[in-house]
Structure 1
């Protein structure tokens, strides 16, 4: 399931080519392209949908960690991943993605203040007419320094979603390490070394999504709260990491598909050789 969501996410990113621009107390999620001659409103809707796929992706990572934990220490709970119960996790991923996409689309609507805030900067730095692109803007403070509550209401939603996913990941990882440590106390030295390798792999599996998925988004959504004087194309942090991540995912998926096809072909050849002695003489291979 996770590779499918990841490949879908990378495909949408390739079609829309979204970007993020951070300016002082705000940031702008936008795309300059209009694939398939979409209108501005439809392109903006797809842009919000793209952000929702990101949320579905990180939710599937937490589901993966939960599955691994139950597979090692509580196999009876794996029944929740079998037959129709697997739809629970698909539904969970869809709900998380919907909440994220709805939050960005609803609270990121462009008002007059947002137009004036980004129009000049986008024209000067990117030669882009702000009114002609699909975009969603989030600005923390107005001219008087008052907090823009409605516009920034998406922040608690995103924070809660990321916190839940990351908490599940960290909890499962810590529990796996502690319980493996207890079980290996009476085992041989070589198995203890194997446990150390397991721990290093576990750390890598936590650090990788932290760097590639969580950290860039946290930087983007929390930077406006500091109200620093900055002009940063923060989309490079998000897009570069995710493209690298999903390039490797796509590569692994294609490799598994090739191995499966090779297995099918080998099995078919073996079956043909098995049946060949029963063929009539004129049809028997030379």
Structure 2
């Protein structure tokens, strides 16, 4: 009910345009009109959206115990019930802060959506609360690494069953792409940040020296003593 009420107050909207998605509202809720505060209401909407999704798992636990172990329902009474509010709020804050920080409009995304917003809504994108994400670089079309090895594979695995296609695919190979992300992310950081790059080179030199010494010790001729 709170989630539905927030939606009425904030009145959020979404617009998909080519390689980007714009999350916005034409209403400046609670009088927040500053450049740093006007997006708080639509970020709060994502808080309640995530908290509501988390609440579904809590409901499942409650119904399971209500059928198979009624004694454990005491965890939903009194002070013990606070843990469920904390659980839902944790994911709500994580989602809201993530969208507020990482979906914030910058110069690139503002320029990307400016003409589209003016054409579709006859409005200036800078005049209302809005957050966005652009999947590709508008200039050269380059993709970020997580898009290729995290988001696309998991989206394929989750969405494909919804189409009920007559297919049989060993999609387990896509799981390998998930494990590539930590390694690739570390490699990218080591290449971009000079301090990490220098440290990585030092570690590589030490490891290389150890391997060479081990290899030499194995190839050295062993002294054999002749029998008298």
Give the structure-2-normalised TM-score.
Answer: 0.60
Does the alignment pair 1:133 with 2:119?
A: no
**1:36 shift after superposition:** 4.1
Give distance in 1, aligned partners of 2:107 and 2:145: 16
Larger Rg: 2
In the alignment, what sits opposite 2:68? 73
> By how many angstroms is 1:90 displaced?
0.7
Tell me the alpha carbon deviations over residues 64-93 of structure 1, each in whole angstroms, 9 at most, x when there is no partner. 111101111122322321221110001101
Contact 2:29–2:41 (CA<8 Å) still a contact in 1?
no
1:61-100 superposed matches below 5 A: 61-100=56-95
**Which of 145, 153, 165 matches 2:141?**
145
* Matches of 1:35 and 1:51, distance apart in 2: 15
Q: Note if 1:44 corresponds to 2:39.
A: yes
CA spacing shift, 1:132–1:149, aligned 2, 3 Å: farther
Secondary structure of the corresponding residue to residue 22 of structure 1: strand
**Whole-angstrom CA distance in 2 between matches of 1:111 and 1:132:** 14
Which residue does the alignment assign to 2:212? none
Indicate the residue corresponding to 1:16 in structure 2.
10
How many residues are aligned here?
A: 149
C-alpha RMSD of the superposition: 2.2
Structure 1, residues 220-246: CA drift from partner, whole Å, max 9, x if none? Answer: xxxxxxxxxxxxxxxxxxxxxxxxxxx
Question: Where does the alignment leave 5 or more consecutive residues of structure 1 unmatched?
Answer: 1-6, 164-286
2:105 is aligned, of 105, 110, 114, to 110
1:213-252 correspondence to structure 2 within 5 Å: none
- 1:42 Cα offset (Å): 2.1
**Deviation, structure 1 residue 35:** 3.2
Contact 1:139 1:148 in 2 (8 A): no
Shift of 1:60: 1.1
Higher helix share: 1
Q: Which runs of 5+ in 2 are unaligned?
A: 159-228
Of structures 1 and 2, the one scoring higher in RCO (CA 8 A, sep 6+) is: 1
Change in Cα spacing, 1:36 to 1:103, as seen in structure 2 (3 Å) is closer
Report the Cα offset of residue 59 of structure 1: 1.0
**2:118 paired with 1:123:** yes
